[in-house]
Structure 1
């Protein structure tokens, strides 16, 4: 009997830690769209997920896990629909987690924080009924449900992207990502967690990319101004192919945006073709330089310039987003901070309460 209890204890512990790891990994796939139909996608993936975990850890654990993850993701779904963000339905992936797909990113860090914290908030609500149920029945399963829900959502509040905690922290200060990296790195080293190290790498990379973007904002703004000036110069001098080629070549040396560089290269290639055609016509004596002859060339240049203007506009929007996305007012920062701290306290208290209960049940001790 004791041997059976120990085996069950080990399986429960393994299941919980796999769940935490899977949930963290699931956050990497924040934008996942696989199936076409809402109800069919969620239902099929849920049953596959349920069956997989039931096979390894039993039906009770599997049902509890699916329930907790489903409610958590419904929190994200509710928040996204509240601010009119298009989303795909929830998808359950065995040993990865449950995710919803965001078809568009939030407009600012405030909206992103709202979508992020509603997941752990719904996660907290999901296991609160288990507290009175344990009190009246003294069934350890309810305590297991509480501690599993608390651990999943508490770990997910570590302030590092792509976890919900990192998305909430972004609306307070992106400097908190540094704290999240330290916390998760320490946890990963103590527990030898490969998934933890992976999240640290992803979070660190995201933080560094944001730092680079913000650092280059001034230079990017100057580049946009120069590109807009370039378009005007080319439009005014489009009849002079040598001039267009010269200003394009000079501009390419300063441009950092790869898509814009590609368009400038295309423009140069087209100009080379035009000049070659003119040269061949000169050799054959068929060259006629008039407005009718130059019109097709100008059309080619005009089409290329239209593409260039579109990319410049996209680049400009990207700069504006980088500059303003993480700017939140004092009221928003305080609101997000209070919600964040409140969730941590509530989940940590629930974890402690359920852990104390489970200490009395040797067969499911963690």
Structure 2
């Protein structure tokens, strides 16, 4: 009895010591986390924590939220490095969490960088678990190591919206097919509805990619004609009649996207009836400019699949392989630890 009390006491203080050590070692992240944790982020985080806690137990819940938080912090830091504004991060119970960039990355290589920073931070989040377990013998750290390894390895499957799918896009899009095969096998083996959803998204992504690739030249011509129209309209913005005629001419002659004409009609409807001639052209020019910039950004991103440098592809591949190897080692080590703590298998250590 006395020995059991000593072990429990050791485990309790060991867990506290471990959390303290983590807090000290991660102090540099504190400022980033405070910026990262907007109000909606905190609400969704707490909701997820309670959801996981009620179903799996509070130790598992704390471990999972910690792992998700650090993983998403990696994406957040990457976005900041690339100068991309970030909206509040959301935690979604039983699905995960997501950093929400205010704009899309400019290139595939930039997107791959943002994607692999998540698993890199994920790897860093589980590294302290091994020495902390050896120091404290607290099974909590086995949960951190095991769940962290599984979470990040799953995310590295090169399919759909997963980090792995975005990373391998910076290597070769042909790897998406391999990812779909791996995801299909995972769905069959686990019968996971969530994995099935990711599989469907992967197929849709592949279809969208090849459709966009096929229409690339046509889209380039459309954007160029829109630029020409913008320059012409800029010169005749004070002549409302000519302005309208020119929009109709371009829309009919060059098979412009219907959205351009609808955009103009919408502005006409909402314009100030007392002085529509001045307001409509200026508002339309502003909308048209925004549409051109949006389409040009999409074109730049699409073209970047082919313009990624060999050096960038090799660096991304090396990082991807290292992450797979190191996280696999982490998973193997956690399996050995679980042998001495079989209760961890239930993920309900309270």
Distance 1:305 1:58 in 2: 56
Q: Which residue of 2 aligns with 1:204?
A: 203
Q: Structure 1, residues 68-90: CA drift from partner, whole Å, max 9, x if none?
A: 11111111112211222111343
Match of 1:306 in 2: 285
1:252 aligns with 2:270: no
What is the 5 A alignment of 1:1-366?
38-227=37-226, 248=248, 251-252=251-252, 254-255=254-255, 257-263=257-263, 306=285, 310=289, 311-312=291-292, 314-324=294-304, 327-365=307-345
Is the 1:263–1:307 Cα contact (8 Å) retained in structure 2? no
3-state SS of 1:91 partner: strand
Pair 316,351 (structure 1): closer, same or farther in 2 beyond 3 Å? closer
Residue 17 of structure 1 corresponds to which residue in structure 2?
none
Which range is displaced more, 177-186 or 128-137? 128-137
How far 1:151 sits from its partner (Å)? 0.1
What is residue 280 of structure 1 aligned with on the other side? Answer: none
In structure 2, relative to structure 1, the CA distance for the partners of 1:297 and 1:218 (3 Å cut) is: same
Please list every run of 5 or more consecutive structure 1 residues that lacks an aligned counterpart in the other structure.
1-35, 271-295
- Shift of residue 38 of structure 1? 4.2
Give the match's secondary structure for 1:104: coil
Q: Is the alpha carbon distance of 1:314 and 1:148 closer, same or farther for their aligned partners in structure 2, counting shifts above 3 Å?
A: closer
Larger radius of gyration: 1
Deviations 1:38-96 (A, max 9, x none): 44334333333222222222221111111111111111112211222111343333223
Secondary structure (helix, strand or coil) at the match of 1:196 reads: helix
Distance 1:94 1:131 in 2: 27
Aligned-partner Cα distance in 2 for 1:73–1:246? 48
1:220 to partner: Cα distance: 2.2
Are the counterparts in 1 of residues 36 and 73 from structure 2 also a CA contact under 8 Å?
no
Q: 1:224 to 1:361 in 2, by over 3 A?
A: closer
How many positions carry a matched residue from both structures?
A: 304
Deviation at 1:303, TM superposition (A): 5.4
Structure 2, gaps ≥5 residues long? 1-34, 270-274
User: 1:170, CA displacement in angstroms?
Assistant: 1.6
RMSD (CA atoms)? 3.5
Query: Against the structure 1 CA distance between its residues 38 and 65, is the aligned structure 2 distance closer, same or farther, given a 3 Å change threshold?
Result: closer
Residues 141-171 of structure 1, C-alpha deviation per residue, up to 9 Å, x if partnerless? 3222211100000000011231111111121
Secondary structure class of the residue paired with 1:359: helix
Cα distance change on mapping 1:354 and 1:304 into 2, 3 Å = closer
CA distance in 2, matches of 1:106, 1:144: 34
- 8 Å CA contact 1:92–1:98 kept in 2: the answer is yes
* Contact 2:171-2:316 within 8 A present in 1 as well: yes
Shift of the 247–196 alpha-carbon distance from structure 1 to 2, 3 Å rule, reads closer
Q: TM-score, normalised by structure 2?
A: 0.73
